């Protein structure tokens, strides 16, 4: 089990990006969270099978209808297994 930690830059707040991310993560059976950062970026932490994490990363790059992803900084880590579901943190 691996974890993906990603910071997404661009027009990703106020455009449904967190809900989009949550839906895709749940579809893939991943656990973790997505949240807005104070500087306008979005943070994603997801745990699951490595192949599914890379699928999520592709979705994150595509973005949602009104979003405009400019950059994604990410790393793969060992999973902490602290999450029972995938949620939006407000």
Determine phi and psi for 28, rounding to 5 degrees. Answer: -85, -5
Residue 35 lies in a domain: yes
Give the number of domains in the chain: 1
Domain that holds residue 39: 1-43+51-68
Which pLDDT belongs to residue 82?
A: 87
Structural domain includes residue 30: yes
In the chain, where do the E strands start and end? 2-11, 31-36, 42-48, 68-78, 86-89
Per-residue pLDDT of the chain (90 residues; tens, 9 = 90+): 999 999 999 999 999 999 999 999 999 999 999 999 999 999 999 999 999 999 999 999 999 889 999 999 999 999 998 899 999 998
Judge whether 88 lies within some domain: no
Q: Is residue 89 part of a domain?
A: no
b (16+ CB within 10 A) / e for 51-79: ebbebbbebbeebbeebebeebebeeeeb
| 36: annotated active-site residue | yes
Q: What is the pTM of this model?
A: 0.96
Name the DSSP letter for residue 43.
E
Q: What is the pLDDT of residue 53?
A: 98
Identify the DSSP state of 15. Answer: S
Per the residue annotation, which of 11, 23, 36, 87 is the catalytic one?
36
Whether 76 maps to a domain, the answer reads: no
């Amino acid at each position: 089990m691996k974890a993906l930690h990603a910071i997404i830059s661009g027009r990703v707040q106020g455009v449904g990006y967190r809900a989009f991310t949550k839906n895709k993560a749940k579809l893939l059976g991943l656990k973790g969270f997505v949240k807005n950062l104070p500087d306008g970026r979005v943070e994603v932490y997801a745990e699951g099978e490595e192949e599914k994490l890379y699928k999520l990363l592709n979705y994150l790059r595509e973005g949602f209808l009104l979003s405009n992803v400019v950059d994604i900084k990410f790393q793969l880590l060992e999973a902490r297994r602290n999450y029972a579901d995938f949620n939006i943190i407000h």
